[in-house]
Amino acid sequence: MNFYQQLQSNTEHARQSFLQAPIIQRCFNGDFNLNDYIAFLQQAYHHVKFTVPLLMATGAKLNEDKEWLREAIGEYIEEEMGHQEWILNDLAACGVDKEQARKSQPAPSTELMVAYAFDAIARKNPLYFFGMVFVLEGTSIALADAAAKQIKDKLSLPKSAFKYLTSHGALDQEHMVFFEGLMNKITDPKEQQMIIHSANMFYRLYGDIFRELTPKHGLEQVA
């Protein structure tokens, strides 16, 4: 079993727990409204805008023997630039004022996940960031395209309201193939355990964002 397979196996329980978040279950049962989608986008904005800064922080902290990984981070940075603006455009297509959305405050769970990511990179090891990559991109592949179709069909929103979801479903599939190759180059058992621990933490932290999603963290805050 290669390391990527170990990572999947050792985080399966956390992944299943994540998928039980009420709003995810409601989405696939058709039990949601526009406020739910706006709330999701609003919190996505508040963590996606930190993706590039987190990548930069990770690259800066890697040791010289991980130069190959720093080069990969450079590619990630190029791919991820500006994705937060996609989310603001999606919000605008849902009738939300982009600048109010930009200036709104994140939900506590979103703020905590971002804070943990920065802290883990700085205080523990930059490899912790790859647990976050595994969780966010893996769940995007599993949920994004299907969720976009469900939401579009029910809410009759324009195609312009789904740039973030529809782009990330396909884009993250490419990223995960790339990510799998990177992870299989991590052979030190201690480093592998760091990434597994991080991924389990991020499943919990990212799941908390979904469990905390309410309209007050979306439309009511920004409209």
Instruction: Give 10-residue mean pLDDT values along the chain (223 residues).
Output: 94 94 85 89 95 96 94 90 93 92 93 97 96 89 74 82 76 73 94 97 96 68 48
Cβ proximity of 160 and 90 under 8 Å: yes
| pLDDT on residue 219 | 52
- Reduce the DSSP state of residue 106 to 3 states and report it: coil
Global pTM reads 0.90
Phi-psi region of 128 (alpha: psi -120 to 50; beta: other; left: phi over 0): alpha
Q: Name all domains of the chain by residue range, CATH numbers in brackets.
A: 3-222 (1.20.910.10)
Nearest C-alpha neighbor of 203 from the set 7, 51, 25: 7
Half-sphere exposure of 66 (CA within 13 A, CB side): 20
Per-residue DSSP letters for 118-175?
Answer: HHIIIII-GGGHHHHHHHHHHHHHHHHHHHHHHHHHHH---GGG-HHHHHHHHHHHHH
